[in-house]
């Protein structure tokens, strides 16, 4: 039995992953954006070990979520599932002056990784859309470019792979991997998404808890429980370190080396 924390687990793939892990007999700590959603989540999944609450678009709440998790017994795995999609019609800024898409999809996983005591396994949800980017970290906050939600989303998913691989490099005692769940018909993916929804949550649960030899790796990228090449630029240590520096500068939080 493993203790697993899943961000963004009030609905969508995070909820499906939580339910699967509970059905398998694991302890699951879920996460909801606010108290109302937390109560709904507990009603839907009464076997949850706990639910932590916080809006991960806000730096203060990222810290609060990390503090709530730190008050609990140690974790075996964290699944960084939280994310918002690519249909953002405009550049929405948070109370910290950051694009909401970047804050939730990139900065929140970075801050939580840095502040939560290291588990044995870390799992980061990316997307096949990360392959669409140029493989650079120029203007990550979209201050100089005309907003394009699909490109901005793709860049955050590129950041998630960079983060997973940077953590794998700096923390060799932790299994840190990334995956793409496929383009599936969730609220984020939309009703016309062509991939199999029933497979979309399996890989993250498998990487977080399975004893299969295929999961005993780090710095890898997966799709449907199989290794898949990530964008080559994600392997560049200088880009990984550049992302860490950007996130540290914006958050004031340093990833322990």
Alpha carbons 137 and 217: distance in angstroms, whole number: 27
Q: 107 is written with which tokens? A: 């900065």
157 is catalytic: yes
Give CA–CA dist 115/118, Å, rounded: 9
153/167 Cα distance (integer angstroms):
21
User: Which three-class secondary structure state does DSSP give residue 12?
Assistant: helix
The two structure tokens encoding residue 198: 């029933």
**Under 8 Å between Cβ of 131 and 181:** no
User: ∠152-158-163 over CA atoms, to 5°?
Assistant: 125
Catalytic residue, from 86, 110, 157, 220: name it: 157
Q: How many residues does the chain have?
A: 257
Catalytic residue among 110, 124, 153, 221: 153
**221 assigned to active site:** no
CA 54 to chain centroid: 15
Given a contact cutoff of 8 angstroms between Cβ atoms, the answer to whether 54 and 33 are in contact is yes
Relative to beta strand 221-223, strand 226-227 is: antiparallel
* CA–CA gap between residue 114 and residue 147 (Å, rounded): 29
- Which candidate, 68, 64, 70, 58, places its Cα nearest to that of 94? 58
Question: Which residues are tagged catalytic?
Answer: 153, 157
């Amino acid at each position: 039995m493993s203790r697993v924390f899943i961000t963004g687990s009030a609905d969508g793939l995070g909820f499906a992953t939580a339910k699967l892990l509970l059905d398998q007999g694991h302890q699951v700590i879920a996460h909801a954006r606010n108290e109302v959603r937390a109560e709904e989540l507990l009603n839907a999944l009464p076997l949850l070990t706990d639910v932590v609450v916080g809006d991960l678009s806000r730096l203060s709440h990222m810290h609060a979520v990390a503090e709530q998790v730190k008050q609990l017994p140690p974790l075996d795995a964290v699944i960084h599932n939280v994310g918002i999609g690519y249909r953002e019609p405009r550049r929405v800024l948070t109370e910290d002056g950051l694009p909401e898409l970047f804050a939730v999809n990139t900065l929140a996983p970075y801050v939580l990784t840095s502040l939560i005591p290291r588990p044995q396994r870390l799992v980061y949800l990316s997307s096949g859309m990360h392959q669409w980017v140029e493989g650079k970290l120029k203007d990550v906050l979209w201050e100089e470019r005309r907003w394009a939600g699909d490109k901005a989303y793709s860049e955050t998913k590129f950041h998630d792979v960079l983060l997973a691989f940077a953590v794998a490099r700096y923390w060799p005692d932790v299994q840190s991997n990334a995956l793409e769940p496929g383009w599936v018909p969730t609220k984020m993916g939309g009703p016309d998404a062509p991939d199999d929804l029933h497979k979309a949550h399996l890989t993250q649960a498998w990487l977080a808890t399975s004893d299969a030899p295929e999961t005993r790796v780090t710095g890898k990228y997966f799709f449907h429980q199989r290794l898949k090449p990530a964008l080559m630029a994600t392997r560049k240590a200088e880009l990984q370190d550049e992302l860490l520096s950007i996130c540290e500068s914006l958050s004031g939080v340093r990833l322990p080396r």
